[in-house]
């Protein structure tokens, strides 16, 4: 496997993880639940800062 192929796979994997986290966080907020810290971190949101917003 070439380096270029690995980079494409990693970029695709990262994009999928970000979309998945965004969907999970939006669903949690919509249902008045706290999103998981893992999903917030994936989106670059500090979980403690998020707690202050809600």
Residue, of 3 and 28, whose pLDDT is higher: 28
Sorted by sequence, the CB contacts under 8 Å of residue 15 that are 6+ apart come out as none
Query: What integer pLDDT is reported at residue 48 of this predicted model?
Result: 95
CA angle 11–40–10, rounded 5-degree value: 10
Domain count, the chain: 1
Segments forming the whole domain that contains residue 7: 3-53
Q: pTM for the complete prediction?
A: 0.79
Q: What is the pLDDT of residue 31?
A: 97
pLDDT of residue 11: 87
Distance CA 38, CA 45 (A): 10
| pLDDT one-digit tens code per residue, 4-50 | 555 566 888 999 999 999 999 999 999 999 999 999 999 999 999 99
Q: What is the pLDDT of residue 6?
A: 58
């Amino acid at each position: 496997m070439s380096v270029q192929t690995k980079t494409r796979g990693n970029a695709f994997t990262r994009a999928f993880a970000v979309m998945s986290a965004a969907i999970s966080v939006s669903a949690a907020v919509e249902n008045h639940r706290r999103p998981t810290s893992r999903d917030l971190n994936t989106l670059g949101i500090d979980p403690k800062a998020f707690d202050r917003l809600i």
